[in-house]
Chains A and B, each alone.
Chain A
Amino acid sequence: MQALYAQLLVGLINGSFYALLSLGLAVIFGMLNIINFAHGALYMMGAFVAYFLLNLGGINYWWALLLAPIIVGIFGMILERTMLQWLTGLDHLYGLLLTFGIALIVQGVFQNYFGSSGLPYAIPDQLKGGMNLGFMFLPIYRGWVVVFSLVVCLATWFLIEKTQLGAYLRAATENPTLVRAFGINVPRMITLTYGLGVGLAALAGVLSAPINQVRPLMGADLIIVVFAVVVIGGMGSIMGSIITGFALGVIEGLTKYFYPEASNTVVFVLMVLVLLVKPTGLTGRAA
């Protein structure tokens, strides 16, 4: 029974990565209608930027949490301005193929220079060590990841669903022409939204750098699972992707305990089941 609690908690930790990543994807899909396959590569870039900041600039983890999302976010906005914006109004497939291509190029370039085994990034001193919860030894850093990503997820949800800015954004997705008539610069808002989604991916990258090796393929391994999370949660649904992110982390954690061999397929089995029963995802609305 104790082991079970531990697995639940560990699942929650992984779930927070899924939640952060799928949230970014959901924001981008919900607002821009782009299936952002480059998300994994941008997540990886976040981790690499944190590594460079530390090793080249001596800038620590805490600043990296702020700076890496901004730097990668700017990179994302350049992508949006120079390439993605021309795909507005076209079929989803074009955006998917373009971003998939970008992901392959970015990963290829990083792999060319840094190899596949990755680079070390240490846990910041303030978050080293762990505490004994009785049923398990919880590394402080992991606890921090859960709390921090939960806060970020809820803040993003609040920004989009409850604020004036969020209202503009949602309106701009529904009817861009009308919103433009009110004097709001819709293309700029879309660029900023893409930057926000990308920044979330980079933030997840920084969070994961001390846990996993900083590797060029770290995002490629994760992105497919995250897509499944978004599909299960309902494409474009903000709250849906947060909740499913955490829930699937837990389910995956339990699978790792009861039948570890299936732990990397269980998410997809669930995706198939959800799609069969409710094709719009758990919280999705029919288009």
Chain B
Amino acid sequence: MKQHFSALLLGMALGFVASGASAQDKTVKIGVLTDNSGLYSDLGGAGSTLAAQMAIEDSGLAAKGWKIDLISADHQNKPDIATTIARQWIDVEKVDIFMDVLNSGVALAVNNVVKEKNSILIDTGAATSDLTNAQCSPNTIHWVYDTYMLANSTGQALVKAGGDSWFFLTADYAFGAALERDTAAVVQKAGGKVLGSVKHPLNSSDFSSFLLQAQASKAKIVGLANAGGDTTNSIKQAAEFGIVAGGQKLAGLLLFITDVHSLGLNVAQGLNFTETFYWDLNDGTRAFSKRFSERMKNKAMPSMVQAGVYSGLVHYFKALEAMGGNPHDGAKAVEKMKSMPTDDPLFGQGSIRVDGRKIHPAYLFEVKKPSESKGPWDYYKLVGTVPADQAFRPLSESVCPLVKK
């Protein structure tokens, strides 16, 4: 009884503090939680922090009396480390919003903490479509891409082009499993067959055993349900083992521009895959990417993950301005963001669905031949566009409890 009473008092006190701080409070703290040192650090990492910094500068909020802080940390691709940082950021550092959070395993863990503590997660790096499906949350927006979208776009395009039998090379964690599951579903729905799959440990350096199994399966398409260094090494070694020369086709289900840059066009040419952002799409993306690249240490162009950090924050700032202050209430801010259409130079016009899925078009790219490329970072040819309303999982198929049926 006594405990109940003190809990009640505490609740009242907190409620009082919260209401006192609302409306006119113009302080915001942004936390970029990413892989700063491991295999995904090129596609997120320091570039994501830079994108957040640019979003803050471009918003012009400082001139309007807002105080915006930015912190960043390395989650080392370990969910336990990530959740420890997340709790500390929310409880001690008073972080309002989490950006980037790549790696699906990490994202699902942070998603829970953010929901429990009523903070905000705009995930631009993780792939798993569970973030807006079974694990959806009123505090989370999944910004850039997801496994369903990748599977839907790349998978369907390849089956249509005659690739009706598949073998998967899958990274052995939440992301790989989700990507394989979603792609297999698309392939089977389109009339294709999945002949088998092999799960490899995250961060493998040798893929020859797995590639031999893929080769022996005689599948027309070898689907690479992995990312980062795992994908680049699989592609490089597949060339060595004559997989493509032998008539099988590689499907990089998740490739980033940093991967293509690292592989070089000689090895990467001809690969088909899907992204939602490319620096050379239009004037808006080119202008941003030029400014971004000038400030990057290795002059890299932004990946779609990094572009998503910028785009997500632009929208968050709009919502804050519309509310006239920072409510320090995650669910409330996300609600506001969902109610407003999104519009920025990087992803164009779009919207955020009730399940937290940000909607925009997806682009099917093909990697250029070395002879077609005009210079560094000129890598992609646009071969198809999936309209925003068809790119992602339809709400009618969703099992997210936020979707009322």
The interface residues of chain B lying within 8 Å CB-to-CB of A13 are 208
Selecting from A21-29, A153-161, A210-218, the interface stretch reads: A210-218
A142 touches B199 (CB 8 A): no
Give A212 to B203 CA distance when docked, in angstroms: 12
**Chain A residue contacts of B242, Cβ below 8 A:** 130, 137, 139
Chain A residues whose C-beta falls within 8 Å of the C-beta of B210 in the assembled complex: 256, 260
Pair A117/B229 contact, Cβ less than 8 Å: yes
Taking the nearest CB of chain A, how far is it from the CB of B125, in angstroms?
Answer: 14
Which of B20-28, B255-263, B348-356 forms part of the interface with chain A? B255-263
**Among the listed stretches B38-46, B130-138, B323-331, which one makes contact with chain A, having 4 or more residues with CB under 8 Å of it?**
B38-46
From known contacts A211-B240, A217-B39, infer whether A115 and B298 are also in contact, taking CB-CB under 8 Å.
yes
Q: Which residue of A lies closest to B45 (CB)?
A: A116
Question: If A213-B229, A260-B199, A261-B199 touch, does A115 touch B209 (CB 8 Å cutoff)?
Answer: no
Please name the residue on chain A nearest to B262 by beta carbon.
A117
- Given A212-B236, A213-B229, A217-B38, residue A256 in contact with residue B209 (CB < 8 A): yes
| Minimal Cβ-Cβ distance residue in B for A259 | B199
Stretch at the interface among A61-69, A119-127, A229-237: A119-127
Q: How far is the CB of A123 from chain B (nearest CB, A)?
A: 7
CB-contact partner of B200 in A7, A119, A122, A263, under 8 A: A263
Contact (Cβ within 8 A) B240 A142: yes
Query: Is A238's beta carbon under 8 Å from chain B?
Result: no
Q: Please measure, in the bound complex, the distance between the C-alpha atom of A215 and the C-alpha atom of B41, giving whole angstroms.
A: 12
Scan A11-51; emit 1 where CB is below 8 A from any B CB, else 0: 10110000000000000000000000000000000000000
* CA–CA, A136 and B216, complex, Å: 9
Cβ-based interface call for A94 (8 A): no
- Contact of B232 with A by CB under 8 A: yes
A163 contacts B by Cβ under 8 Å: no
Interface residue ranges of A191-219 to B (CB < 8 Å): 211-213, 215, 217-218
Contact indicator per residue, chain A 169-199, by CB within 8 Å of chain B (1) or not (0): 0000000000000000000000000000000
B9 CB, min distance to chain A CBs, angstroms:
49
Instruction: Find out whether the CB atom of A213 lies under 8 angstroms from the CB atom of B266.
Output: no
Closest Cβ of chain A: how far from B239's Cβ, in Å? 9
22 contacting pairs across A/B (C-beta < 8 A)? A2-B216, A7-B212, A10-B208, A117-B228, A117-B232, A117-B258, A120-B264, A120-B266, A120-B267, A122-B266, A123-B240, A130-B240, A136-B212, A211-B240, A213-B233, A217-B38, A218-B205, A260-B172, A260-B199, A260-B209, A263-B200, A263-B204
Given contacts A116-B45, A137-B242, A139-B242, 12 further A-B pairs with CB under 8 A are: A10-B208, A115-B300, A116-B41, A117-B262, A141-B240, A215-B229, A221-B205, A222-B205, A260-B200, A260-B210, A263-B209, A264-B201
> Residues of A with Cβ closer than 8 Å to B?
2-3, 6-7, 10-11, 13-14, 111-120, 122-123, 130, 136-137, 139, 141-142, 211-213, 215, 217-218, 221-222, 253, 256-257, 260-261, 263-264
Chain B interface residues (CB < 8 Å from chain A): 37-43, 45, 172, 198-201, 203-206, 208-210, 212-213, 215-216, 228-229, 232-233, 236-237, 240-242, 246, 258-259, 261-264, 266-267, 297-298, 300
